[in-house]
Structure 1
Amino acid sequence: MPLITRCLLTLVMLALLNGCSSARYYSQLITGQLQLLQAREPVAKVVADSQRDPVLREHLAKSQAARTFASQHLLLPDNQSYRRYADLKRPYVVWNVFATPEFSLNPVTYCFPVAGCVAYRGYYAQGGARGDAALKRQQGMDVFVSGVEAYSTLGWFDDPILNSMLHWGDERLATLVFHELAHQRVYVKDDTEFNESFASFVEQEGTRQWRAYQGLPPASVDGLAQRDQFIALVLSTRQRLQQLYAQPLPATQMRQRKAAEFDRMRREYRDLRDQQWAGNARYDAWVNSPMNNAKLLPFGLYDQWVPAFAALFKHANGDWAVFYSHVEQLGKLAPPQRKAALQQWAGEDLKA
């Protein structure tokens, strides 16, 4: 069945099942995805075109070495994803809206026919994301809008390299390719934390191996340590907030203590920055901007189980095929058993 026909049939089905409001939302998803697919062109064609931007051509040429490495060495899918390029004429491919109740870290989730339930809602236009965020704020929710450089269609389509993936250099582009291909390799419906933590681990370990393959020195130990310390700081704040929200406190007192926890996080961040990081202000903008529950969600989603997957990779003796087999087995467990197994593996990582 032709691609466009499949998409239109999906849209019609969703409209019938979910009503007009949902149909409008799915309409922008289908339209945005079709525009993305129509903008694709082979990377080889762009690289060979002397009339194109030479910086773009160089980035894309280097990207193909990383793309080949992903399949040959990381055993990620060997298909046409990231063998094409699309310029969307905007800084991000989508904007994700994260939302939580005022006194909870449980995300508002959305369920889709293919991807299952996820902890955010994506919009191809920034205005659509802002509009959704404004409505949720009116309902008393904590909301955070985040631009996204790339996403995976889980192998349904040949995902292209996007202009939004090129902002931070060749290595960052390679890490994005590793991350998104990981979603094509293993994906578990209705478990965002599992999927994103898995892809984040593949991204991190894949990048380490990619640097070694190129003969480059390991990434700065200081930079990696700062990243890990910052993530740990945010996750510890999440844990304290979860404990706070479990208490039967009046709303006014709960708000005061919630604000105090965010103030504590900022103080602890400044201590890290000034006493251990020699004043490196890499996270200042994020820390000093308005804070709420929803802003913490990506950390829990993308990083929570990375230590567990690191321990599982070590258990597999660094064999990617064995590692993926273990991950697939975890994915088949019922959610409570899967979480318990991940907690056990995360404990193994702490012992190492």
Structure 2
Amino acid sequence: MKSIYHLLILCLCASLLSACQISYLVKSGYNQMKLLSQRVPIEEALKDPQISETDKNKLRLAQEARKFAEKDLHLKPTKNYSSFVQLDRPYVTYVVSAAPRWELKHYQWSYPFVGKMPYKGYFNENDAREEEKDLQQNENLDTYMRGVSAYSTLGYFNDPLLSSMLRYDDYDLVNTIIHETVHATLYIKHAADFNERLATFLGNKGAEQFYLKKEGPDSKTLLQLRKENDDAKAFSKFISTELAALEKWYKDLPADDRSEDKRMERIRQIQEKFTTELQPHLQTDNHKKFPELKLNNARLLVYKTYMQDLSDFQTLYELLGSDYSRFIENCKALEKAPDPTAALKQMIVDITKQAQQK
């Protein structure tokens, strides 16, 4: 009944939107309800002979991670991931992102409750491809479409574990559970980039703490996680610098000197720089495909959403004594800030000054 209530509220809000938005929201709402109707309790899924023992172990691990996120990390208790859905497709949704060709700026969509977002999701792959085609042809935008294995409804529904999530490595599954629980705990309207970077940072930290408790300080899993998280920090620093340089290049290049070949060559230079300057120093293969990717502004902005300036979160985390709960509480103070990213930087300055005065 709670899910039906939320869907009715969504449809009521849709009455204030355009016909295209109404159609999209109603269709998405229908597919969300269809997905929820397929849920079975985890306990029941663990008794299903059609589910492999490998997948059942992943279901058990997800329950461990869920309890750890709530009890040890003090994230918001929810009923998320206490049920399971077997999908008939590799991804649960397909997401489209877009950006102008000569500006590193998100094309954004507006939604009830959560505000503006730099992506639009579809349960049907063909619908996503149609959206992408329309943005390319009618608005002359760069686009990027990708399949998504997991997503959060931010507490509006009780999100199930999905069969698409069971393809993750164990530690990636743990990271994802914590990442999505961070969203359910703190989500700032109109600040998608900040929200995703926060969840990325806390997913990484939380997964380390999970395996430290589960397997101890000599855990091979923990060692691998720390290597991956170190690489994530290095890549974050690299891509943040390169995106800032590319943004300046766009602004400084005269309009009469612009060409698609020149633009693509400038983007390729980022990949070449990665290969020569960063890749030799990475400890894992997590970013090895970066030089081969077909990049454009829309795809580069995904890195901005998830990876840019993670160092600010690290700095605040260390200033707060590497205390996960204290870090979350301080971030909650940013909910009403017009620009939470700028407010985070100011918080770092203020806490640093207070520490120096003691």
* TM-score normalised per structure 2: 0.88
Q: Which residue does 1:227 correspond to in 2?
A: 232
1:244 to 219, 240, 249: 249
In structure 2, list runs of 5 or more residues that go unmatched.
352-358
How far the C-alpha of 1:118 sits from its partner, in A, is 0.9
**Mapped contact 2:237–2:311 kept (Cα < 8 A):** no
Q: Which residue does 2:355 correspond to in 1?
A: none
Partner Cα separation in structure 2 for residue 222 and residue 171 of structure 1 = 13
How far the C-alpha of 1:283 sits from its partner, in A, is 3.5
Partner Cα separation in structure 2 for residue 268 and residue 27 of structure 1 = 45
1:4 lines up with 2:4 in the alignment: yes
Q: Which residue does 2:258 correspond to in 1?
A: 253
Partner Cα separation in structure 2 for residue 329 and residue 13 of structure 1 = 28
**Mapped contact 2:237–2:309 kept (Cα < 8 A):** no
In structure 1, list runs of 5 or more residues that go unmatched.
none
Superposition RMSD in Å: 2.4
Q: How does 1:1-352 map to 2 (within 5 A)?
A: 2-14=2-14, 16-50=15-49, 52-138=51-137, 139-214=139-214, 215=216, 216-217=219-220, 218-220=222-224, 222-247=227-252, 249-253=254-258, 255-272=260-277, 275-277=280-282, 282-335=286-339, 338-344=340-346
How far the C-alpha of 1:12 sits from its partner, in A, is 5.0
In structure 2, the CA distance between the partners of 1:6 and 1:156, relative to structure 1 (3 Å rule), is: closer
How far the C-alpha of 1:181 sits from its partner, in A, is 0.4
Partner Cα separation in structure 2 for residue 282 and residue 2 of structure 1 = 40
SS of aligned partner of 1:332: coil
Aligned AA for 1:143? T
* TM-score normalised per structure 1: 0.89
How far the C-alpha of 1:287 sits from its partner, in A, is 2.9
The worse-fitting range, judged by mean Cα deviation, of 44-53 and 260-269 is 44-53
How far the C-alpha of 1:298 sits from its partner, in A, is 1.4
**Mapped contact 1:307–1:345 kept (Cα < 8 A):** no
SS of aligned partner of 2:90: coil
Aligned AA for 2:242? T
How far the C-alpha of 1:161 sits from its partner, in A, is 0.8
SS of aligned partner of 2:322: coil
Aligned AA for 2:330? H
Partner Cα separation in structure 1 for residue 237 and residue 348 of structure 2 = 14
- Superimposed CA distance per residue, residues 279-316 of structure 1 (whole angstroms, 9 cap, x where no aligned partner): x7653444323210000111111122422222222222
The worse-fitting range, judged by mean Cα deviation, of 255-264 and 56-65 is 255-264
**Mapped contact 1:79–1:158 kept (Cα < 8 A):** yes
Partner Cα separation in structure 2 for residue 13 and residue 29 of structure 1 = 14
SS of aligned partner of 1:324: helix
In structure 2, the CA distance between the partners of 1:348 and 1:123, relative to structure 1 (3 Å rule), is: farther
In structure 2, the CA distance between the partners of 1:248 and 1:171, relative to structure 1 (3 Å rule), is: closer
The worse-fitting range, judged by mean Cα deviation, of 267-276 and 22-31 is 267-276
How far the C-alpha of 1:344 sits from its partner, in A, is 4.6
Aligned AA for 1:333? A
Partner Cα separation in structure 1 for residue 334 and residue 301 of structure 2 = 23
The worse-fitting range, judged by mean Cα deviation, of 101-110 and 22-31 is 22-31
Partner Cα separation in structure 2 for residue 311 and residue 265 of structure 1 = 26
Partner Cα separation in structure 2 for residue 187 and residue 160 of structure 1 = 19
**Mapped contact 2:197–2:306 kept (Cα < 8 A):** yes
In structure 2, the CA distance between the partners of 1:188 and 1:263, relative to structure 1 (3 Å rule), is: same
In structure 2, the CA distance between the partners of 1:68 and 1:339, relative to structure 1 (3 Å rule), is: closer
SS of aligned partner of 2:333: helix
In structure 2, the CA distance between the partners of 1:348 and 1:164, relative to structure 1 (3 Å rule), is: farther
How far the C-alpha of 1:248 sits from its partner, in A, is 5.4
